[in-house]
Amino acid sequence: MARRFDATSFLYRWGAALVLVLATFNPTGWSFYHWIMNGTGENLPVKVVAAIALLILYIVFLRATWRSIGPLGVGLVLAFFGAVLWMAFYYGLLEAGQTTALTYLGLILIATVMAIGMSWSHIRRRLSGQYDMDDVDE
């Protein structure tokens, strides 16, 4: 039996997506990207295992997102966040020269889109009372 979906459930999904995104790349220099790009050929088996693990996690998150909200939903969520960013630039809350802040903001937005995708079936069920076809066992 699935646990009830609430704000904490969404935060767990968002936290997992954020860890995945930040482990892949972040501006601090401590990420999988920097480990691969700045390293030599040492520890190659560990790097390959880490790459495959990240790929598996991305497939799980992105496939769930694509299946739950679809291309239109992904486009709408990205358009919404794009409009919010535009508004932040327009009102001077963000400036183009703040590359580190903008990088973190972009990574947070990517994690948020993935968390929404992972949670959308639960959110939709709570809003509409309708089950998805994948929910037949509940």
Q: What is the pLDDT of residue 39?
A: 73
Q: Of 32, 9, 8, nearest to 20 (Cα)?
A: 32
Q: What is the pLDDT of residue 1?
A: 43
pTM score of the predicted model: 0.81
Residue 131 Cα distances to 1, 48, 68, 120, 138, angstroms:
15, 39, 12, 11, 9
Q: Are 25 and 32 in contact (CB under 8 A)?
A: yes
Q: Could you list the pLDDT tens digit for every one of the 138 residues in the chain?
A: 456 788 898 999 999 999 999 999 999 999 999 999 987 778 889 999 999 999 999 999 999 999 988 889 889 988 999 999 999 999 999 998 989 999 999 999 999 999 998 988 787 777 776 665 555 555
Q: What is the pLDDT of residue 62?
A: 93
The DSSP code sequence of 40-81 is -STTHHHHHHHHHHHHHHHHHHHHHHHHHHHHHHHHHHHHHH
